[in-house]
Amino acid sequence: MTEWWRGGVIYQVYPRSFQDSNGDGIGDLSGIISRLDHIASLGVDCIWLSPINQSPQADMGYDVSDYMQVDPLFGSLQDFDLLIDRAHSLGLKVIMDQVVSHTSDQHPWFQESCFSRENARADWYVWADAKPDGSPPNNWLSVFGGSAWEWHTARKQYYLHNFLTSQPDLNYHNPAVQDAVLDVMRFWLDRGLDGFRLDTVNYYFHDAQLRANPPLKSLNGKPAVNPYDMQSHQFSKSQPENVNWLKRVRKLLDEYPGATTVGEVGDDERGLELMKQYTSGPEMLHMCYSFDFLGPKFSAEHFRSKIERFFAGDETGWPCWSFSNHDVIRPMTRWAPFSANRADLARQAAALVMTVKGSVGLYQGEELGLPEADIMYEELTDPRGKRFWPEDKGRDGCRTPMPWQINLPHAGFTTGHPWLPVKPAHLDLAVDKQNADPDSTLNFFRQIIAWRKGQPALLTGSIEFFETDEPILAYRRSAGNKDIVCVFNLSAEERVVTMAGTAVELESVSHNAVLDDKALTLGPNGYALVEAPAGEGKVTYRAG
**pLDDT value, residue 221:** 63
Q: Which CATH class is domain 462-540?
A: mainly beta
The CATH code of domain 9-101+175-453 reads: 3.20.20.80
Q: Which residues have a Cβ under 8 Å from the Cβ of 156 and sit 6 or more positions away?
A: none
Is residue 65's pLDDT more than 80?
A: yes
Is residue 468's pLDDT more than 80?
A: yes
Query: What DSSP letter does each residue of 183-202 carry, written as one string?
Result: HHHHHHHHTT--EEEETTTT
Q: Where are the domains of the chain?
A: 9-101+175-453, 462-540
How sure is the predictor about 172, in pLDDT bands with cuts at 50, 70 and 90? Answer: very high
**pLDDT value, residue 37:** 98
Catalytic: 150?
no
**pLDDT value, residue 220:** 65
**pLDDT value, residue 101:** 98
Cβ–Cβ under 8 Å, residues 342 and 370: no
How sure is the predictor about 90, in pLDDT bands with cuts at 50, 70 and 90? Answer: very high
How sure is the predictor about 223, in pLDDT bands with cuts at 50, 70 and 90? Answer: low
Is residue 254's pLDDT more than 70?
A: yes
Is residue 401's pLDDT more than 80?
A: yes
Kindly state the helix (H) or strand (E) to which residue 94 belongs, with its residue range.
Answer: strand 93-98
**pLDDT value, residue 332:** 98
Is residue 316's pLDDT more than 90?
A: no
Q: Across residues 201-222, what is the average pLDDT? A: 90
pTM summary value: 0.97
Selected catalytic residue, list 255, 378, 516, 517: 255
Q: Across residues 299-306, what is the average pLDDT? A: 98
Residue with more model confidence, 501 or 250: 250
Average of per-residue pLDDT values in the chain: 96
**pLDDT value, residue 218:** 77
Cβ–Cβ under 8 Å, residues 154 and 114: yes
How sure is the predictor about 2, in pLDDT bands with cuts at 50, 70 and 90? Answer: confident
How sure is the predictor about 503, in pLDDT bands with cuts at 50, 70 and 90? Answer: low
Is residue 219's pLDDT more than 80?
A: no
Query: What DSSP letter does each residue of 310-350 carry, written as one string?
Result: HHSS-----BEEES--TTS--HHHHTGGG-S-HHHHHHHHH
Q: Which residues have a Cβ under 8 Å from the Cβ of 511 and sit 6 or more positions away?
A: 344, 347, 348, 351, 525, 526, 527
Tell the burial category of 517 from Cβ atoms under 10 Å away from its Cβ (0-12, 13-18, 19+).
exposed
How sure is the predictor about 488, in pLDDT bands with cuts at 50, 70 and 90? Answer: very high
Selected catalytic residue, list 169, 199, 367, 382: 199
Query: What DSSP letter does each residue of 355-389 carry, written as one string?
Result: HSSSEEEEETTGGGTPPPP---GGG---HHHHHHT
User: Matching CATH topology for 9-101+175-453 and 462-540?
Assistant: no
Q: Which residues have a Cβ under 8 Å from the Cβ of 135 and sit 6 or more positions away?
A: none
Is residue 34's pLDDT more than 80?
A: yes
Is residue 169's pLDDT more than 90?
A: yes
Is residue 504's pLDDT more than 80?
A: no
At 135-166, the pLDDT tens digits run 999 999 999 999 999 999 999 999 999 999 99
% of the chain at pLDDT higher than 90: 93
Catalytic: 292?
no
